[in-house]
Structure 1
Amino acid sequence: MTTDPAARSAPRSPARRRFQLLLVFVLGLVPWSVQTFTTGSLTLLFPWGLVGPSTGSVTTITDFFLRFTMGLPDYILVWPVGVVCYAVALGSALSGVLFGREDVRLTAAGLALAGVTQLEVARGFSVQPGRTAWPVGTVLLWAVAGFIWFIYWSRANGRDPR
């Protein structure tokens, strides 16, 4: 353990920044909500759109909000808020790789807030008859946010887990 402030504020290695960016990027590729129906069908909600694997249908988030906006319930309106929070986190992590400057608190907070919004989306979908929504994204977003926060906290307190 070091007490030297310069050592504690030393920049993270480029490999660590790339790994963190990879973790954040992958969160955009996994479903944030998995909705199962009593009929046996499935809908996957990603940050970029909805996918119905059984029908092969894909509805992008832009189509969903620009074409199918009539009568959307409030809980679905937080989906794009979560996407914006995720985009902030991704931009922060990308800045760390490209410019060597990242505020990991912003990265972690963006992911944590995106997780909160997706918990609300899953809750809203789950109250509909014949449907259950599993907040997979919330768990993954919070796990990565917690990991990033732990690394930040460890470095700030001189307990860098290298």
Structure 2
Amino acid sequence: MTDTVLRPPRPTPWRVLAAVLACGLVPWSVQTFADGGVPFLRFAWGGLSFAPVLYARTLPEYLALSGSPLLVPWIVAAACWVLAVASASLAFVGREDPRVTAGLLVLAGAVNASVAVRFGLQPVRTGYPVGTLALWAVAAWRYRASARE
């Protein structure tokens, strides 16, 4: 019997970019309501509401319509993710610093977690920072892989 060790895939430029981009596709937070209201999904680009019908609103639309104090950290988290995408893209020309890409993902995840927690502090609401887990997992993979290179 041979010992097999499961190792994460080698971080080629395409894999790194795909993983960082995938972080923008998962909901960054799932926000639920104690009264049984339909959950709201918040992404890097905006949000999805399911009541009364499926409705998508972009982050710039939220800026125009709301003065919520949660918008500023949401924008900061999204900006960190966009910068991580740009940093990962630099791998195609041999200029990516994996520590920068990983650090930006960690920052995006931390700020996103603060948004979800602050949403959850409001009465009858709960925020689950799903995207934070994805951002931190990709950051850990990218950082660990760079340490082995």
Report sequence identity in percent: 38
User: Could you say what secondary structure the match of 1:147 adopts?
Assistant: helix
User: Tell me, which stretches of 5 or more residues in structure 1 are unaligned?
Assistant: 1-12, 156-162
* Residue aligning to 2:25: 29
User: Could you say what secondary structure the match of 1:47 adopts?
Assistant: coil
| Equivalent AA in structure 1 for residue 140 of structure 2 | G
* Residue aligning to 1:51: 48
Residue deviations 1:44-68 (CA, integer Å, cap 9, x gap): 0000001113421111001111x12
| Equivalent AA in structure 1 for residue 46 of structure 2 | G
The yes-or-no answer on 1:148 pairing with 2:142 is yes
User: Tell me, which stretches of 5 or more residues in structure 2 are unaligned?
Assistant: 1-9
Shift in Å, 1:144: 0.5
| Equivalent AA in structure 1 for residue 49 of structure 2 | G
Residue deviations 1:90-118 (CA, integer Å, cap 9, x gap): 00111212x23211111001100000100
User: Could you say what secondary structure the match of 2:12 adopts?
Assistant: helix
User: Could you say what secondary structure the match of 2:126 adopts?
Assistant: strand
Give yes or no for contact 1:37–1:131 (8 Å, CA) kept in 2: yes
Shift in Å, 1:76: 3.5
Runs in 1 of length 4+ with deviation above 3 angstroms? none
* Residue aligning to 1:7: none
Give yes or no for contact 1:76–1:124 (8 Å, CA) kept in 2: no
- Which structure 2 residues correspond to residues 63-142 of structure 1 after superposition, within 5 A? 63-65=61-63, 67-70=64-67, 72-73=68-69, 75-97=70-92, 99-142=93-136
The yes-or-no answer on 1:42 pairing with 2:39 is yes
Separation (CA, whole Å) in 2 of partners of 1:111 and 1:150: 14
| Equivalent AA in structure 2 for residue 101 of structure 1 | R
Look at both structures and tell me which one has the larger radius of gyration over its CA atoms.
Answer: 1
* C-alpha RMSD over aligned residues: 1.5
The yes-or-no answer on 1:20 pairing with 2:16 is yes
